With several copies, the nearest count.
Chain A
Amino acid sequence: MKGNEAFAEAAIRAGADGYFGYPITPQSEVMEYLMAEKPHERTGMIVLQAESEVAAINMVYGGAATGKRVMTSSSSPGISLKQEGISYLCGAELPCLIMNAVRGGPGLGTIQPSQSDYFQSTKGGGHGDYRLLVLAPASVQEMADFARLGFDLAFKYRNPVLVLSDGAIGQMMEKVYLDPQRPRFTDEEIKQNTPWATTGKTPDRERNIITSLALESAKMEQHNIALQAKYRQMEEEEVRYEKIGCDDAEYAFVAYGTSSRICQKAIQLAREQGIKVGLMRPITLFPFPKKIIAQMTSRVKGILVVEMSAGQMVEDVRLAVEGRVKVEHFGRFGGIIPSPVEVVEALKKQIIGG
């Protein structure tokens, strides 16, 4: 199963209620898979091809506002178009799942895989002080797992969750274990779990309002303080990462998604050459595992951040490291995936030799 298809299938099985999307390479398989699966017959899930990405993200808003599990997916230019909608979703505190199969930018760029939307994803591509909870899958299995986990975290925090994938993971096939079907929310469950949802004002409660507007600054500030508290809670509770070969490591790669897979192979190659290097793979990009990375600086002599970008996550690594050890960035970009050999060479040149 391709990563994109695994994501789609897992979403159905996670009890998704609705998917709203617009075609764009390299993730059109998500909607294509869903349409072919007739989830409307399988589970009652709605799948709709919207007239644009802007419409799609606002459909997500309208659906999420009724307490449903809704999702969309796109690739870089389409995700840029969704930035206003994403900011609204965060402002109105609506749970939803968004997948970005990142391709090389800027502009129309190339459809080849890239990691150059890290800043957009983690610091807020839209306006205002908001954060997405960002999950970075590195395998087809994680594409599937993070569909379900994404929904669950989205509802836990009433916040959009972004699965930051790329063309490589989306197009790749690997063995994947899929969770069994989970039922969609019942109307009763929605009333229970999401009492804020606009499901129709019944006599037993006040009307529900979904909005991100606060005319008075004082209220808006209070709202922002509450949002910030939520993001701090995520930083406490949701940091996820994987460490590979770090126990005896003198050097470390920090890489996520596709790059982290390359780094795994690079570790093998480097160790064959007697270089003790490990890998720290952030799984959540926000919240970023900054404490773990800070701790690593007591052991490793240098860190190479490998990204398919001109250097974005490296800033978060540097913020965590605060100058205690050398942190360098190695990147290929514009749709090029670095090879394991290149990565080892970069480690030698930029960190060990440098």
Chain B
Amino acid sequence: MAEAIVNTELIQPENLVYKRTELLTPNALSYCPGCGHGTAHRIIMEVIEEMGIQSETIGIAPVGCSVLAYDFMNIDMQQAAHGRAPALATAAKRLNPKKYVFTYQGDGDLAAIGTAETIHACNRGENIVIIFINNGIYGMTGGQMAPTTLPGMKSSTSPYGRDVAMMGNPLKITELVAQLPGTLYVTRQAVHTPVAVRKAKKAVRKAFENTKLNKGLSFIEIVSNCNSGWKMTPRKANDWMVENMFPFYPLGDIKVNE
């Protein structure tokens, strides 16, 4: 490993092509190194910045590793009880019909305790955006099994691997909500490679545009890693995700209505 090589000549304002959006606060993210939460945060904030809707946006993050999202996203934010973000969003949006309202939820949050709120907000077709970070585990509380934990996958509450006969099947809630007439746009994305990030960002943009055009509910699953919960290095976690999570949770659009 050599020393850093820097061509200082290039570092000029006019050459700047990428920098961290101002819509992220300067606070250091509380996530583990390599955790996809950070990237997901960033693309959402970039979209809000690009659309110029900071002053029109209300974000809602429930409990989970991203409970502190309000420390990082430089917008007005509500911290929700575990699983209930779609209920908050429903009211916030209906009472403030001109605002953009989005939720940012983990898989434990959205697909376990929050199942009813998720299904019913989707079924009502609230004009909101739901961002769903599926890392197959309860990250925040120390790596317990989530509804989306893969068969055979180890977690602190499935220490010998998820036994489907005892613990049930992983729940593909995204496919479920795509069945509901209330959802307009349902897609599954990832943020582990540059290509994936750019696609995911496009999806987020489309979702917020849907809100703008009053079209209805957009649901974006982001399959992500939880390297701490999975007990892997971040790079290994991403590889494992590609090999194991993606076959079960295939990326791509699931429903695109107009």
Contact = CB atoms under 8 A, between A and B. Distances in A.
Given A28-B141, A201-B75, A211-B79, A62 B92 contact: yes
A203 B79 CA distance: 22
Contacts of B63: 108
Given A62-B88, A200-B55, A209-B70, A51 B116 contact: yes
Contacts of A60: 91
A58 B113 contact: no
A194 interface: no
Contact of B88 (A35, A65, A203, A213): A65
B209 interface: no
B56 interface: yes
Interface residues of B, number: 53
Interface string B83-95: 1100111111011
A241 B78 CA distance: 37
A32 B81 contact: no
Interface stretch (B10-18, B154-162, B213-221, B248-256): B154-162
Contact of A63 (B92, B108, B144): B92
A81 to B, nearest CB: 8
Contact of B113 (A51, A107, A208, A215): A51
A49 B67 contact: no
Contacts of A215: 68
A150 B161 CA distance: 32
B76 A208 contact: yes
B138 interface: yes
A20 B67 CA distance: 25
B58 interface: yes
A200 B58 contact: yes
Interface centre among A51, A200, A208, A215, by most chain B C-beta atoms within 10 angstroms, is A51
A170 to B, nearest CB: 13
Interface stretch (A84-92, A291-299, A327-335): A84-92
Contacts of A23: 108, 138, 141-142, 144, 157
Contacts of B58: 66, 198-200
Nearest to B75: A201
B82 interface: yes
B155 to A, nearest CB: 9
Nearest to B53: A200
Interface centre among B56, B68, B88, by most chain A C-beta atoms within 10 angstroms, is B88
A51 B88 contact: no
A153 B58 CA distance: 26
B39 interface: no
A70 interface: yes
Nearest to A196: B76
A84 B141 CA distance: 19
A50 interface: yes
Contacts of A84: 81
B94 A18 contact: yes
Contacts of B77: 198, 207-211
Nearest to A190: B96
Contact of B141 (A18, A25, A53, A85): A25
B158 A35 contact: yes
B47 interface: no
Contacts of B117: 51, 54-55, 58
Interface in A48-99: 48-56, 58-63, 65-66, 68, 70, 77, 84-85, 88, 92
Contact of A53 (B75, B113, B166): B113
B182 interface: no
B115 to A, nearest CB: 6
Contact of B79 (A48, A63, A92): A92
B145 interface: yes
A31 interface: yes
A256 interface: no
B95 A77 contact: no
A56 B166 CA distance: 16
A326 to B, nearest CB: 40
15 contacts: A22-B112, A31-B144, A53-B113, A61-B91, A65-B78, A65-B92, A92-B79, A108-B81, A198-B58, A198-B92, A200-B76, A201-B75, A209-B70, A210-B77, A211-B79
